């Protein structure tokens, strides 16, 4: 018999997510919830991005709450949330996981009693929550932090193992419908879902903080079987699904196998992935991907200057990028790339070559990021060792004696202006509409509602007091 009988899985609203962060359901929590489906009779899920009156959704007889902290959040806000949970559910056990919880595990488990998180899990769950639920004993779980007899303990964390094929995330607990909803409340008319088909990355980009665990060990690349990914996609209702893998195309043969499974089973959706430009080296697989529904691809090219690519340790050259794009730019896919500016040795003139280069290779959209060193990635030491280069302690942005952080920000704006000419905007809009097919009627009615409502400040709609039950269940763009 399990040590708990009623569990609630809570996804907090960090308030600082990306422009479209309501595209992404709390997949990690849904996986954890699925792992205890047969041992905890009563389970519920609260997504605070939608559930404004979340305390009313938390059943008073809940005896365990699992929180997922993927993104930074002020600790006082976390403590206030835990106090509210403990006020509502007497004697409850609160556990947490996710990058932010891992980074602050000691502070969270040693906080005062009414704001203490009893157990913090480091790394992916992989069945450990179930072990805790079945035994009620923290000592028997690997990679957790807790306090016992007044002393802080942390059990050793093993390296990440292979990503499991099953269970699939429990989507039945959802109370919100996820979609491409901008933070200002404007809904693009596309309902979305997400899937994780692999984890880890074998590359060593100098700026990357995603490829290592909290002990600094490289997370080995492992992938789920094509069959299990197709099984999950078959269960998803939303027409647009984002693969949240760091590197969705690392194994071309597996990608081809997945496309074959999707085509054979007749699973028709539009997929977005993020991957490296080496995808262009297997154009026949890329063409099959387009037939299977892969239509939105984001690359991390970062730069077209070999000295910058070397500085960033991208294991790429300009020639490779150009050759790869030449093989795939005819494929019906919307191509986006990230670029990093402000690297050591990169001049203003070199940064301003991005718009021409991006158009020449066939990109449909670009994202420009001033270089940041969040530490402890290897880049921080490299930047600090270069005379004349500095890291802003607050924003973590890199700047130099020659170019201030504000000037680099200005260059980023100029690059975007020069890329988004009227012709480029029209060309990309037509292609986006042709490939992604947003619902134009929904788009128009939501645009009208959004305009009539005025331009709300970010999150204003969701934070409105007294939100109705319907508002809690529908995207804000529809609830207006």
User: By the criterion CB under 6 A, which residues form the site for ligand SF4?
Assistant: 201, 203-205, 208, 210-211, 246-247, 276, 300
State in angstroms the smallest separation of the CB of 315 from ligand SF4.
8
Given the structure tokens 């490829």, which residue do they identify?
211
| Nearer to ligand SF4 among residue 208 and residue 476 (C-beta) | 208
State in angstroms the smallest separation of the CB of 202 from ligand SF4.
8
| Nearer to ligand SF4 among residue 52 and residue 254 (C-beta) | 254
State in angstroms the smallest separation of the CB of 209 from ligand SF4.
8
Residue 267 dihedral angles phi and psi, to the nearest 5°: -85, 115
Other CB atoms within 10 A of residue 216 CB: 8
User: Do residues 245 and 276 lie in contact, with contact meaning Cβ atoms separated by under 8 Å?
Assistant: no
| Nearer to ligand SF4 among residue 32 and residue 316 (C-beta) | 316
Beta bridge partners, 195, equal 243
Measured between alpha carbons, how far is 192 from 181 in angstroms, rounded to an integer? Answer: 10
Nearest to 32 by CA among 5, 61, 8: 8
State in angstroms the smallest separation of the CB of 27 from ligand SF4.
18
State in angstroms the smallest separation of the CB of 275 from ligand SF4.
8
| Nearer to ligand SF4 among residue 105 and residue 314 (C-beta) | 314
Query: What does the longest C-alpha to C-alpha distance in the chain come to?
Result: 68
State in angstroms the smallest separation of the CB of 37 from ligand SF4.
31
State in angstroms the smallest separation of the CB of 211 from ligand SF4.
4
DSSP string, 187-227: EEEEEEEEE--EE--S---TT-SSSB-TTS-B---EE--HH
Per DSSP, the three-state class of 302 is strand
| Nearer to ligand SF4 among residue 87 and residue 217 (C-beta) | 217
| Nearer to ligand SF4 among residue 201 and residue 258 (C-beta) | 201
User: Do residues 343 and 303 lie in contact, with contact meaning Cβ atoms separated by under 8 Å?
Assistant: yes
Measured between alpha carbons, how far is 196 from 186 in angstroms, rounded to an integer? Answer: 26
Residue 428: DSSP 8-state = H
| Nearer to ligand SF4 among residue 71 and residue 203 (C-beta) | 203
Tell me what percent of the chain is helix, strand and coil, each rounded to the nearest 5.
40, 20, 40
Measured between alpha carbons, how far is 27 from 224 in angstroms, rounded to an integer? Answer: 15
Strands of the sheet with 270-275, listed across from one edge: 179-181, 187-195, 240-243, 270-275, 294-302, 334-341, 365-370
In 307-450, where do the E strands start and end? 334-341, 365-370, 389-391, 398-400
User: Do residues 195 and 233 lie in contact, with contact meaning Cβ atoms separated by under 8 Å?
Assistant: yes
State in angstroms the smallest separation of the CB of 11 from ligand SF4.
23
Given the structure tokens 């990109």, which residue do they identify?
363
| Nearer to ligand SF4 among residue 337 and residue 471 (C-beta) | 337
State in angstroms the smallest separation of the CB of 313 from ligand SF4.
8
| Nearer to ligand SF4 among residue 135 and residue 222 (C-beta) | 222
User: Do residues 476 and 186 lie in contact, with contact meaning Cβ atoms separated by under 8 Å?
Assistant: no
């Amino acid at each position: 018999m399990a040590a708990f009988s009623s569990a609630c899985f809570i996804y907090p609203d960090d308030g600082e997510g990306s422009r479209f962060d309501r595209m992404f359901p709390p997949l990690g929590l849904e996986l954890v919830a699925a792992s205890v489906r047969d041992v905890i009779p009563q389970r519920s899920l609260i997504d605070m991005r939608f559930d404004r009156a979340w305390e009313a959704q938390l059943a008073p007889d809940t005896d365990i709450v699992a929180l997922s902290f993927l993104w930074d959040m002020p600790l006082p806000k976390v403590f206030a949330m835990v106090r509210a949970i403990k006020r509502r559910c007497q004697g409850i056990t609160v556990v947490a996981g996710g990058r932010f919880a891992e980074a602050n595990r000691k502070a969270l488990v040693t906080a005062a009693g009414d704001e203490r998180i009893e157990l913090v899990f480091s790394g992916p769950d992989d069945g450990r929550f179930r072990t805790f639920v079945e035994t009620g004993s923290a000592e028997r779980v690997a990679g957790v932090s807790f306090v016992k007899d007044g002393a802080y303990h942390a059990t050793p964390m093993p390296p990440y193992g292979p990503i499991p094929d099953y269970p699939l995330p429990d989507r039945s607990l959802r109370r919100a419908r996820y979609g491409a909803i901008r933070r200002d409340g404007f809904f693009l008319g596309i309902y979305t879902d997400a899937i994780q088909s692999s984890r880890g990355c074998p590359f060593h980009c100098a700026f990357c903080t995603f490829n290592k665990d909290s002990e600094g060990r490289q997370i080995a690349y492992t992938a789920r079987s094509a069959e299990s990914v197709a099984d999950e996609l078959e269960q998803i209702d939303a027409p647009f699904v984002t693969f949240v893998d760091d590197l969705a195309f690392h194994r071309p043969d597996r990608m081809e196998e997945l496309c074959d499974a999707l085509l054979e089973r007749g699973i028709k959706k539009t997929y977005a992935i993020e991957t490296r430009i080496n995808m262009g080296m297997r154009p026949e697989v890329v063409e099959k991907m387009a037939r299977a529904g892969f239509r939105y691809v984001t690359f991390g090219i970062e730069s077209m200057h070999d000295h910058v690519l070397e500085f960033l340790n991208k294991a790429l050259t300009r020639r490779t990028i150009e050759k790869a794009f030449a093989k795939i730019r005819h494929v019906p896919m919307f191509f986006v790339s990230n670029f990093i500016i402000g690297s050591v040795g990169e001049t203003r003139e070199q940064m301003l070559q991005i718009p021409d280069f991006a158009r020449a290779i066939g990109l449909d959209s670009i994202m420009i990021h001033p270089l940041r060193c969040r530490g402890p990635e290897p880049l921080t030491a490299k930047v600090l060792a270069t005379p004349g280069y500095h890291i802003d302690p607050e924003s973590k942005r890199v700047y130099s004696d020659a170019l201030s952080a504000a000037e680099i920000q200005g260059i980023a704006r100029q690059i975007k202006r020069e890329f988004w000419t009227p012709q480029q905007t029209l060309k990309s809009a037509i292609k986006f509409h042709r490939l992604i097919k947003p619902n134009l009627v929904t788009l128009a009615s939501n645009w009208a509602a959004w305009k009539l409502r005025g331009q709300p400040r970010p999150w204003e709609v969701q934070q409105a007091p007294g939100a109705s039950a319907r508002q809690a269940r529908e995207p804000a763009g529809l609830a207006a």
